[in-house]
């Protein structure tokens, strides 16, 4: 026996609830399938809980800086990781509860619990239930990638999801991967009191960024005591016996040896906890996509066109599983593009999207458009302007002078090509650049504007008034 729906949404990540709600407003009956927690990665094990941890870590860090700001708390702050975790979970749970309430209050949506498999272009099977539908929206997200490295299956490790379960501060956290996820957790746990070592196979951190950005972020984190081992060409793992008195029987609290082949440093690093932060893979391997002919690329991402249609009529893919963004904001924009095309007669396209994202260390990095390297390779006549945060009054007043802002302009068209702000409020201020880029307005729209003093934003026009040719 089968049930008939106008649409089936597989997954409740950022794009899913909006799609389901809009489909019901068009008079449809919708089934939303979820096999785990409502809200997907962002709400449960991604942006929401990790940024809550960033908030706790920052408060603790600022308490340690009391002398710099004219006060004394009298002692080193005592971190209660159980309470830190409780705060994080409460914030994430509030978002989860809100989504569950939204589904409960919409009589046209049925939340179906279980694992979905696509059994045909118009059919989804969940356990012993068959859901027939005109439209299938695949929104299954991604999960942490486990690298195929020697000894990885013989030791206990953490991922970006399971590290959120810790209720005590690690003694020594070793992180494999010097990119966005790894660096955020490195700073969080260093500020909470752990010794932290980051191991990166490449020659520098966050390799997709320009070298000056990578250097500035490394310099900031090293200033807080995070240690780095770069050019780690060979990495392997071993268990190190811990016979010290009082050692805990939980293997996760045992010692883990990481073997590295680097030009500098010892050949083995021994720590109490290991975090694997080497990217993510899409949750597409158990959906039955091959049985209906839905194309995927070599990494398992579902291939979509500019309006998020798959190779099979009646099936669309949104969010992290389509490889078109892998951010919460791009997932939500996928929902907006799909809704516009299906219901609003508004032919929006994925290719209209301008790449933007943040690294949520403290201070954060905000990025939009081209990097300096990409601009140089584009063949354009490019102008560049750069200003250190130590020249920004607001940053000086807040004693947050790490980092810089940098902007790129096409000299012939006056079009803004991109920007990076690593520093105080950089993740917010970068949207000045993004919005003008979407408006297709010249850079002078900002450079001639008057901004409020004293803010970080006021130095964006000033910086753009000092453009020079890119070497």
Whether 107 and 182 map to the same domain: the answer is no
Among 53-67, 174-188, 231-245, whose mean pLDDT is lowest? 231-245
For residues 23 and 45, the answer to whether their CB atoms sit within 8 Å is no
Question: Which residue, chain included where needed, has tokens 């030791």?
Answer: 155
**What pLDDT is attached to residue 129?**
95
Among 165-169, 263-267, 400-404, whose mean pLDDT is lowest? 263-267
**What pLDDT is attached to residue 1?**
54
Q: List, in sequence order, every beta strand (DSSP E) within 84-234.
A: 109-113, 116-120, 123-126, 129-138, 142-144, 172-176, 195-199, 227-229
For residues 28 and 4, the answer to whether their CB atoms sit within 8 Å is no
Last residue of a domain, one of 352, 368, 389: 352
The domain total for the chain is 3
200-205 mean pLDDT: 94
CA–CA dist 222, 216 (Å, integer):
10
Last residue of a domain, one of 249, 276, 303: 276
Whether 159 and 198 map to the same domain: the answer is yes
For residues 120 and 134, the answer to whether their CB atoms sit within 8 Å is no
Last residue of a domain, one of 276, 304, 326: 276
Instruction: Round to the nearest angstrom and report the end-to-end CA distance of the chain.
Output: 68
- CATH at 16: 3.50.50.60
Whether 165 and 234 map to the same domain: the answer is yes
Half-sphere exposure of 312 (CA within 13 A, CB side): 24
Whether 269 and 286 map to the same domain: the answer is no
CA–CA dist 209, 423 (Å, integer):
15
Contacts of 336 (CB under 8 A, 6+ apart): 18, 348
| pLDDT of 377 higher than 80 | yes
**What pLDDT is attached to residue 243?**
54
Helix orientation angle between 81-105 and 47-64, rounded to the nearest 10 degrees: 150
CA–CA dist 35, 112 (Å, integer):
8
Whether 302 and 393 map to the same domain: the answer is no
Whether 165 and 118 map to the same domain: the answer is no
Contacts of 75 (CB under 8 A, 6+ apart): none
Q: Is 44 left (phi over 0), alpha (psi -120 to 50) or beta?
A: alpha
Question: Which residue, chain included where needed, has tokens 């695949």?
Answer: 138
Give Cα separations from 434 to 23, 196, 261 (angstroms): 30, 34, 41
More confident residue, 264 or 399: 399
Which stretch of DSSP H or E encloses residue 41?
helix 40-44
Whether 262 and 116 map to the same domain: the answer is no
Which stretch of DSSP H or E encloses residue 330?
helix 328-343
Task: Name the band, by pLDDT with cuts 50, 70 and 90, for residue 121.
Answer: confident
For residues 220 and 403, the answer to whether their CB atoms sit within 8 Å is yes
434-450 mean pLDDT: 98
Please tell me the pTM assigned to this model.
Answer: 0.94
CA–CA dist 264, 276 (Å, integer):
22
Task: Name the band, by pLDDT with cuts 50, 70 and 90, for residue 306.
Answer: very high
Tens digits of per-residue pLDDT, 211-258? 999 999 999 999 999 999 999 877 899 998 755 444 444 434 469 999
| pLDDT of 330 higher than 90 | yes
Contacts of 120 (CB under 8 A, 6+ apart): 291, 292
Whether 26 and 68 map to the same domain: the answer is yes
Which stretch of DSSP H or E encloses residue 96?
helix 81-105
Parent domain of 397: 356-469
In percent, the amount of the chain with pLDDT more than 90 equals 89
For residues 30 and 20, the answer to whether their CB atoms sit within 8 Å is yes
92-117 mean pLDDT: 94
Whether 110 and 178 map to the same domain: the answer is no
Whether 259 and 317 map to the same domain: the answer is no
Handedness of CA 385, 388, 394, 395 (dihedral sign): positive
Contacts of 95 (CB under 8 A, 6+ apart): 39, 43, 48
Whether 361 and 347 map to the same domain: the answer is no
Whether 372 and 463 map to the same domain: the answer is yes
- CATH at 402: 3.30.390.30
Task: Name the band, by pLDDT with cuts 50, 70 and 90, for residue 49.
Answer: very high
How many helical (H) and strand (E) elements, i.e. helices and strands, does the chain have? Answer: 15, 22
């Amino acid at each position: 026996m089968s049930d008939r729906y106008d649409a089936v949404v597989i997954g409740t990540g950022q794009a899913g609830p909006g799609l389901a709600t809009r489909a019901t407003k068009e008079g449809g009956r919708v089934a939303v399938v979820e096999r785990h927690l409502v809200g997907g990665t962002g709400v449960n094990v991604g942006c929401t809980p990790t940024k809550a941890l960033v908030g706790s870590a920052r408060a603790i860090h600022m308490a340690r800086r009391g002398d710099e700001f004219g006060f004394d708390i009298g002692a080193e702050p005592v971190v209660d990781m159980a309470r830190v975790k409780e705060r994080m979970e409460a914030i994430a749970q509030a978002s989860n509860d809100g989504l569950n309430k939204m589904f409960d209050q919409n009589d046209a949506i049925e939340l179906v619990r279980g694992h979905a498999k696509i059994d045909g272009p118009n059919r989804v099977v969940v356990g012993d239930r068959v859901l027939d539908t005109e439209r299938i929206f695949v929104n299954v997200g991604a999960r942490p990638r486990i690298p195929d490295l020697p000894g990885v299956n013989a030791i206990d490790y953490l991922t970006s999801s399971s590290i959120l379960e810790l209720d005590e501060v690690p003694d020594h956290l070793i992180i494999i991967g010097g990119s966005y996820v790894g660096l955020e957790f490195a700073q969080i746990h260093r500020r909470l009191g752990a010794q932290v070592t980051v191991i990166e196979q490449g020659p520098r951190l966050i390799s997709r960024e320009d070298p000056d950005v990578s250097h500035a972020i490394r310099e900031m984190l090293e200033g807080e005591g995070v240690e780095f081992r770069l050019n780690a060409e060979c990495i392997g793992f071993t268990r190190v016996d811990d016979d010290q008195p009082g050692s805990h029987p939980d293997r996760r609290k045992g010692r883990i040896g990481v073997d590295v082949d680097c030009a500098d440093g010892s050949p083995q690093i021994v720590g109490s906890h290991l975090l694997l932060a080497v990217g993510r893979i899409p949750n597409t391997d158990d959906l039955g996509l091959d049985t209906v002919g839905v194309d995927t690329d070599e990494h398992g991402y579902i291939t979509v066109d500019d309006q998020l249609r798959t190779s099979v009529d009646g099936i669309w893919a949104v969010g992290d599983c389509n490889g078109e963004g892998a951010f919460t904001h791009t997932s939500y924009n996928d929902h907006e593009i799909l809704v516009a095309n299906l219901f609003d007669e508004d032919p929006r396209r994925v290719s209209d999207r301008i790449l933007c994202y943040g690294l949520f260390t403290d201070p954060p990095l905000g990025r939009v458009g081209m990097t300096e390297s990409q601009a140089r390779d584009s063949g354009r006549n490019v102008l560049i302007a750069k200003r250190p945060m130590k020249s920004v009054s607001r940053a000086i007043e807040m004693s947050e002078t790490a980092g810089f802002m940098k902007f790129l302009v096409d000299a012939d068209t006056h079009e803004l090509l991109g920007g990076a702000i690593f520093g105080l409020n950089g993740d917010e201020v970068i949207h000045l650049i993004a919005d003008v880029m979407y408006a297709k307005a010249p850079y002078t729209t900002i450079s001639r504007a008057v901004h409020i003093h004293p803010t970080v934003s006021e130095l964006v026009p000033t910086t753009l008034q000092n453009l020079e040719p890119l070497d």
